[in-house]
Amino acid sequence: MYEAIKKKFEEMGVTLVAVTKTHPISTILEAYDAGYRNFGENRVQELVEKYEELPKDIRWHLIGNLQRNKVKYITPFVSLIHSIDSLKLLKEVNKEASKNNRVVDILLQLKIAREDTKSGMSESEIKQIVNSTAYSEMENIRICGLMGMATFTDDQEWVRNEFRFMKEVFERIKEMNFKDKIFFRILSMGMSGDYTIAIEEGSNMVRIGSLIFGNRT
């Protein structure tokens, strides 16, 4: 099961982030033994606890909302933060990464869904960050791409349009001149319910939980 899913995404050239929130260490180790190395969590505390107990060659992704006062707990080890939704938060990550002598890779979260519960920035807010002097002077973060979540709906065309819009924004930002331009190549979109459409629309990183580990209780 683990092997088959892993192979499927490898063949498509898409990076699979296995979303392990609520699942125990033993489950994560099963996937690890099957060759999985990218794991995603949406809560800081759970991420830190699992990091401490699990093999150190795992690449940990923070995919959920991040509060500024919790940034310091993950900057020592996190591989990719998907959920940067303000310049203030980015500044905090840069500051804490500097204390750890690290360069931390991040994605800017674009709001594509109509639902108010889903966070993220507009295209113009993202462009403002990319154009800002504050960001151009940050030496301890790298903007590596965008993350987005589509509306939770059965309307597949609606979802497709949101992903298509996200890919267009991604291309427009790639055209801009900024210090991390050469690292800007990750488009993190697609979950268990919508990854097929996301990949058709240009995703190269998917965040998949229930398809791999079953439903969360």
Ligand X SMILES: *Cc1c(COP(=O)(O)O)cnc(C)c1O
Catalog residues that contact ligand X under the rule CB under 6 A: 19, 21, 42, 63-64, 149, 191-193, 207-211
Q: In whole angstroms, how close is the CB of 216 to ligand X at the nearest point?
A: 7
Of all residues in this chain, which one has the CB nearest to ligand X in the complex? 209
Nearer Cβ to ligand X, position 138 or 208?
208
Nearer Cβ to ligand X, position 32 or 195?
195
Q: In whole angstroms, how close is the CB of 119 to ligand X at the nearest point?
A: 10
Nearer Cβ to ligand X, position 76 or 193?
193
Rounded distance between C-alpha atoms, residue 150 and residue 101, angstroms: 35
Q: In whole angstroms, how close is the CB of 170 to ligand X at the nearest point?
A: 17
Nearer Cβ to ligand X, position 138 or 198?
198
Q: In whole angstroms, how close is the CB of 137 to ligand X at the nearest point?
A: 29
